[in-house]
Structure 1
Amino acid sequence: MRTSSIRAAIVAAVITVGSLLGAGSAAAAPEQDPVFTPTSGATTMSVLVTKLTHAQATTRFRNAGITWSSSGNCSNRNNSTCTSFEQINLATVQGAETLKRACGCALNITGGTETGHASGTYSHWNGYKLDFSKYSGIGNYIHNNFTYIGGGKWRAASGNIYYDEGNHWDVTFYSCGC
């Protein structure tokens, strides 16, 4: 499988670079999000990501025609009834923009980086995830273009994971593709 070969090559490269830089101590494994399950023998690595402010993200979403809503009508990152984009990864925003262009469907974000979601490395809080309203357009696009991997999850060619959580789509953006 091509994805496995690419992932193995990346892991090997990270191990090689880590050993060249003298990274020898192993860190405790972080709690994992239920959407992301590392493969056996996976290596934990740190990646530098570009973080955006709430204002920067909302400007980009607005320009892309992506809407957002909040049950609390607020954007406070520390309030679970708000929808915040504070400290969201640039690649996550770009992934949503790519999804919007590719599907041409309505996208409404209902969850961002606010507290109240599952923890873990690839979590909402850490800027990797967005929740989308479950409109038929996005569902049809996911079902027709991505690979079903079981458990209500679909994987895009980009590696991003789309998880049908019943009343919304929970999307983990590992890359800026859709």
Structure 2
Amino acid sequence: MKLLIVLSGLIAVSFAATTTNSHALAEFSAKGISVWSSGGCHEKYNGHCTSFDGLQLVSLSGVLKFKQTSGCAITITGGTEVGHASGSYSHGNGYKLDISDTSCVTNYITGHYRHTGSRSDGAALYADPHGNVFAHESWLHHWDITWYHYTK
């Protein structure tokens, strides 16, 4: 997918709406976000890896902004690698990230975002002011976050 941006009505710039694993890792490192992979790898087609190939820019910007606003240490434990549920707004399509459910992260989400109910698997759901959805998969010790909208 490509986006077209026109600056001042004169210049058009085209860029991908997704990013590469190496670019995402560099962005996370620069902002102090940790990445954990059970296999110690970043291959998209290995379910024991944590990959960011094909990560939507909305997801990348969302987690960077969440770190900034929450002030919490963030560890990403799941990205675009195989092994997650399918769907339009899925991990595989780059719209979801899993982050560890530390007390800081959990307290920030439950204290600042609106509780919207529970998912069919029992995960508590919260929505930020932009409509992004935070599902607390407590049995997996992480938050499954779906980034639909850019946060400013």
TM-score bracket, normalised by the shorter chain, equals 0.7 to 0.9
For 1:176 and 1:78, locate their aligned partners in 2 and report how far apart those are by CA, in whole Å.
27
Q: Which has the larger radius of gyration?
A: 1
For 1:170 and 1:98, locate their aligned partners in 2 and report how far apart those are by CA, in whole Å.
16
2:72 paired with 1:98: no
Which of residues 129, 133, 136 is equivalent to 1:164? 136
Aligned residues: 131
For 1:153 and 1:55, locate their aligned partners in 2 and report how far apart those are by CA, in whole Å.
31
- Offset of residue 147 of structure 1: 0.2
Gaps of 5+ in 2: 1-14, 119-123
Q: Deviations over 1:75-112 (max 9, x none)?
A: 01000010000000111000000000000001000000
Contact between 1:88 and 1:128, CA under 8 Å: does it hold in 2?
yes
Q: Which residue type is aligned with residue 101 of structure 1?
A: Q
SS of 1:150's equivalent?
Answer: strand
For 1:96 and 1:65, locate their aligned partners in 2 and report how far apart those are by CA, in whole Å.
11
User: Hey, what does 1:108 align to over in structure 2?
Assistant: 75
Q: How does 1:123-134 map to 2 (within 5 A)?
A: 123-134=90-101
Which runs of 4 or more aligned residues in structure 1 lie more than 3 Å from their structure 2 counterparts after TM superposition? none
SS of 1:141's equivalent?
Answer: helix
CA shift in 2, pair 1:49/1:164, >3 Å: farther
User: Hey, what does 2:50 align to over in structure 1?
Assistant: 83
CA shift in 2, pair 1:49/1:140, >3 Å: farther
- Offset of residue 168 of structure 1: 0.7
CA shift in 2, pair 1:82/1:104, >3 Å: same
Which of residues 24, 32, 36 is equivalent to 1:65? 32
- Offset of residue 176 of structure 1: 2.4
SS of 1:131's equivalent?
Answer: strand
Q: Which residue type is aligned with residue 84 of structure 1?
A: S
For 2:150 and 2:43, locate their aligned partners in 1 and report how far apart those are by CA, in whole Å.
25
**Which one has the bigger helix percentage?**
1
Q: Which residue type is aligned with residue 164 of structure 1?
A: H
**Which one has the bigger strand percentage?**
2
For 2:47 and 2:30, locate their aligned partners in 1 and report how far apart those are by CA, in whole Å.
26
User: Hey, what does 1:53 align to over in structure 2?
Assistant: 20
- Offset of residue 71 of structure 1: 0.3
2:126 paired with 1:154: yes
- Offset of residue 49 of structure 1: 6.5
Q: How does 1:15-54 map to 2 (within 5 A)?
A: 50-54=17-21
